[in-house]
Amino acid sequence: NMRLLVLMKQDFKNLATNPTIFTFCFIYPPALIFLFGFLFSNLYGSDIVTSYDFYGVTLMFYMLLGTITITPNTFMEERVKSANLRIAYAPVSRFTIYISKILSSYLFMGITFTLDICIMQICGLVNYGGKEHLLNVLLLMYCMLAFSVTLGGAVCVVLKSEELTNKILTIIATAFAVFSGIFFPISSLGKEVANFANLSPLKWVIDCAFQIIYDGVSSTYIPIIACLMICSIFFLLIIHLFYRPEDYLK
């Protein structure tokens, strides 16, 4: 579909030329991983898992979840409203409009995060599974990204408010991160809280990634991928039901 490709090209360009989004997706991940890895290197005495390895996985997937606040920008950011106005009155189906924004967001973030992971793996800064398991880790990342992109889009089309959407999505991402054990051991808060933390999809993905990298296999790999894709399809259905181009022209 030529119209879809044209819209995707424009949406992709808007993301790539936004300094904040480009920095968050491409520059920020390796910088943050290097900083945390350096600051906490003394806490990791093992040659098997270094501080860079630990934060390379945990922070990368945390930032993948953080991309839920980026998709709404393709719908509601101030500088794309004029383009949205022209598209809304053009002979283009609403499916083509919203799927363009979802696909362009997914492709842009997929490319930038893949480059980050491959660069850090090749440079030896972070172990993402090497030649044997890197593709499995990347597939897990792509499924997590699909979950994040579609979740951000779903909340966006339901609330139809950029400020409220970003506030709620930031709270969701922070809650998932806290209960995934990125910042401190959840077990220290008690058994009840630890059990509740098991509901965090971010914790599932991070635990699974570590199992793949260091054990070469994970019994939860296929179930987690299936769960993330089912959730993504559900969020896409919500977007399809609630999206109206005219809601984003004010």
User: Is residue 225 scored above 90 in pLDDT?
Assistant: yes
Cβ pair 166, 186 in contact under 8 A: no
Question: How deeply is 111 buried, as exposed, middle or buried, from its count of CB atoms within 10 A (0-12, 13-18, 19+)?
Answer: middle
Rounded CA separation 209/211 (Å): 5
Cβ pair 224, 205 in contact under 8 A: yes
Q: Let me know the angle formed at the C-alpha of 241 by 239 and 244, rounded to the nearest 5 degrees.
A: 75
Rounded CA separation 126/60 (Å): 11
User: Is residue 82 scored above 80 in pLDDT?
Assistant: no
Cβ pair 246, 88 in contact under 8 A: yes
In this prediction, residue 243 carries a pLDDT of 87
Q: Above pLDDT 90, what percent of the chain?
A: 45
| Of 24-33, 106-115, 180-189, the least confident | 180-189
Neighbours of 224 (CB within 10 A): 19
Kindly indicate the confidence band of residue 53, based on its pLDDT and cuts at 50, 70 and 90.
very high
pLDDT digit string, tens, across residues 165-185: 888 988 888 888 877 777 666
In this prediction, residue 188 carries a pLDDT of 61
CA dihedral 126, 134, 58, 186 (to 10 degrees): -120
pTM: 0.88
In this prediction, residue 201 carries a pLDDT of 82
Residues 6 or more apart whose CB falls under 8 angstroms from that of 108 comprise 12, 15, 16, 25
